[in-house]
Amino acid sequence: MRILLLSQYFDPEPFLKGLPFAQELVRQGHEVEVLTGFPNYPGGRLYPGYRLRLLQHEEIGGIRITRVPLFPSHDSGGFRRMLTYVSFAISASILGLCSVSKPDVIYACHGNATIGLPAWIIGLVRRAPFVLDIQDLWPDSITASGMLPKRFEGLVPLVAAWCRFIYRRAAGIAVLSPGFKKVLVARGVPEGKVEVIPNWCDEVQIHAGPARAEEAALLEGRFNVVMAGNMGKMQGLDVVLDAAVALQSLEPRVQFVLVGDGVERPHLETRATSLGLTNVLFLPRRPVNEIGPLLGRADALLVHLKDDPLFAITIPSRIQAYLAVGRPILCGVRGDGADLVREAGAGFCFEPERPEALVEVLSALHGLPPEARVDLGEQGRRFYQDHLSIRVGTRAFLRLFTKVQPHLPRV
């Protein structure tokens, strides 16, 4: 079948359902075209070699890509962030509609609810059903993140109404966790319309590339707890600094290694300096093919989200990457994310936003024999291959795409 992959983000941006997914769909016998924006995530600045223009066609890894303009921003200001989402939705709805071939099905990755606009319009005009892959629940995520300024809180009911509109028009909906499905069904979405398809990781890139010698030296002789990815408000990483204060004397070999970028990183670096922490190391964001060796050298991998009901039904994508790498996991997430780590038998879970709980599980892991820590990592790796790999997930999406084929949009 001919599949239009519609997403605001795509390679070279660090995007989970990007090029590897498109290539796996092709490998399994299907045609794929991509409609996306100009790359600027997560820094909010255009990547080198790109400049905004009306349209840009390119090919990456054998996949045809059409890029449309957007307002590039990813700062903490809710208005500018919303402008980014809306500008892409409008460009994709107008310019994208005129530029892409007629698909048999549209796959729209919903990191923000505005993606529903071009999915609906292109589907309506081109007579193609669309599948919505919901990665963030709106309006829940924008209120929980604090992204929406107080003066715009009156827009929340309108956002909720828009989501209901799009859910009704989607031929199928994929969600990343059982908790997401329960919420949507409670909001009136027919249960048979929603499929739980867990995320995977970039399996090729996550293991690629040599380790950097200068970073290996910084990790030498320490028990390294690595957290790699976005450092935003949702991650609540002040808990790491609070735990580091206690661990400087309790477990002096332990070192937290925070890798990546985000709106909270400047605050975290400033606070770490003011606390005089010598057991917290900040490393810059890097491509996926350079993060694998660093994760592989970790003694433990950390994932944490703020203690919010929304995050109890969320499975952070870094959990899948951590499982695939095969290192023990320290999981400070409630609900579905913690359940996944427990089911895999891959590490320890602790209450989010409680530094003393992080210190407790970290001390317990540190006290295990090395072979026991290896077993935890290997259990996670096997679980990933059997239940979460891109091969397994792509087959699930193709079953959903086939299921929605008769559901053409109503004019």
The structure tokens listed for 230 are 């976005």
Pairing of strands 329-332, 300-304: parallel
CATH topology of domain 2-200+389-404: Rossmann fold (3.40.50)
Residue-averaged pLDDT of the chain: 92
Q: Are 303 and 331 in contact (CB under 8 A)?
A: yes
Q: What is the mean pLDDT of residues 69-78?
A: 77
pLDDT at 118: 97
Residues of the chain with CATH 3.40.50.2000: 2-200+389-404, 205-387
- The owner of tokens 């053409």 is 408
How would residue 186 be classed by pLDDT, with cut points 50, 70 and 90? very high
Fold entry, domain 205-387: Rossmann fold (3.40.50)
pTM attached to this predicted model: 0.82
Q: How confident is the model at residue 317 (pLDDT cuts 50, 70, 90)?
A: confident
Residue 206, pLDDT above cutoff 90? no
**Cα-based angle 112, 14, 329 (whole degrees, multiple of 5):** 95
> 246-278 pLDDT, tens per residue?
999 999 999 999 999 999 999 999 999 999 999
115-171 pLDDT per residue, tens: 999 999 999 999 999 999 999 888 887 776 666 666 667 788 898 999 999 999 999
Rounded to the nearest 5 percent, the helix, strand and coil shares of the chain are: 45, 15, 35
Q: Which of 9-18, 197-206, 333-342 has the highest mean pLDDT?
A: 333-342
Please give the Cα distance from 358 to 350 (Å, whole number).
6
